Amino acid sequence: MKIATWNINSARARAERILNVLERHDLDVLALQEIKCKPEQFPAAEIEAAGYEIAAHGLNQWNGVAIISRVGLSDVRYEFPGQPGFTKGIPDDGSTFINGPVEARAIGASVGGIDVWSLYVPNGRAVGDPHYFYKLEFLRALRDFAQDQTRQGVDLALVGDWNVIPTDDDVWDPSAMEDDIYMTDAERAAFHAFADAGMREVSRDFATNYTFWDYQKLRFPKNEGLRIDYVWASEALADHAIAGSIDRDERKGKGASDHVPVIVEFA
């Protein structure tokens, strides 16, 4: 089974690219982030005509996640247990952030016997910003959920845009990151904590490249990128990972997303 994750940065703007990636890589499952539309606005017709089912979760023109599958799609969930929400503003009660409405940042479904979650982890914005603490709480709650599922023996895949740079090798120049956002000790610890929850990041076993290049300052031609898109799999599932790649070429051409697909194949 081939599973890919891709921050599409607007599904409606890149509908043709979605279909091309599905066909070019012969994907069984594609998890999308930042679809930036409501489910009824998702460009489904040609994808469904190609033999895929779609589950999408979006509340407005921001965020949004989806799962596309041709190996079945059932038990769709639109948030994981304990998923925090967010309300703009600085707390006046001494807390780190204001828990509010749950955003469209997670969608899970059973596909081909695997519990797949498409995840768009909060950006964090700046170190010390309430959104930064929201990000850490999101990762903590997700880690607790993962640990509960792995203890139950669930074949679990947590895939998506993690907005974390796990090591200095995952950015072209660590000193270029303003305020060290994406790479603070707390963010990195929250990312690596999934290994203690019975998970293993498997894309790195097969592919070494960046997954994101900003549109500004000719970042892509200069290969000044970040690696922030990952595939975490429960240990039993990770043992079946046999191949993987990062489709760097998808960043080329007019109308490309600033992220590229990350693909892992499981036997």
Instruction: Enumerate the active-site residues.
Output: 120, 161, 259
- Is 28 marked as binding a ligand? no
Say if residue 179 carries a ligand binding annotation: no
Q: Does 7 belong to an annotated binding site? A: yes
Q: What 8-state DSSP symbol labels residue 219? A: T
Instruction: Work out the widest C-alpha separation in the chain, in whole angstroms.
Output: 52
Structure tokens at 116: 């797949």
* C-alpha to C-alpha distance for 174 and 183, rounded to whole angstroms: 8
Q: Which residues contact 121 (CB under 8 A, 6 or more apart)?
A: 105, 135, 138, 139, 142, 160, 161, 162, 163, 164
250 known member of a binding site: no
Alpha helices in 152-207 (DSSP H): 185-192
According to the annotation, is 240 in a ligand binding site?
Answer: no
CA distance 89 to 82: 21
* Nearest-angstrom CA–CA distance, 228 and 206: 16
3-state SS class at 190: helix
Does 163 belong to an annotated binding site?
A: yes
Strand segments, DSSP code E, in 42-88 are 53-57, 65-69, 74-77
**Can you read off the two tokens belonging to residue 147?**
């640990």
Please name the residues in contact with 79: beta carbons below 8 A apart, sequence gap of 6 or more. Answer: 102, 106
Instruction: In whole angstroms, give the CA distance from residue 35 to residue 78.
Output: 14
Residue 249 tokens read as 């070429």
Name residue 241's beta-bridge partners. 266
Residue stretches of the annotated binding site: 7, 34, 161, 163, 258-259
Residue stretches of the annotated binding site for Mg(2+): 7, 34, 161, 163, 258-259
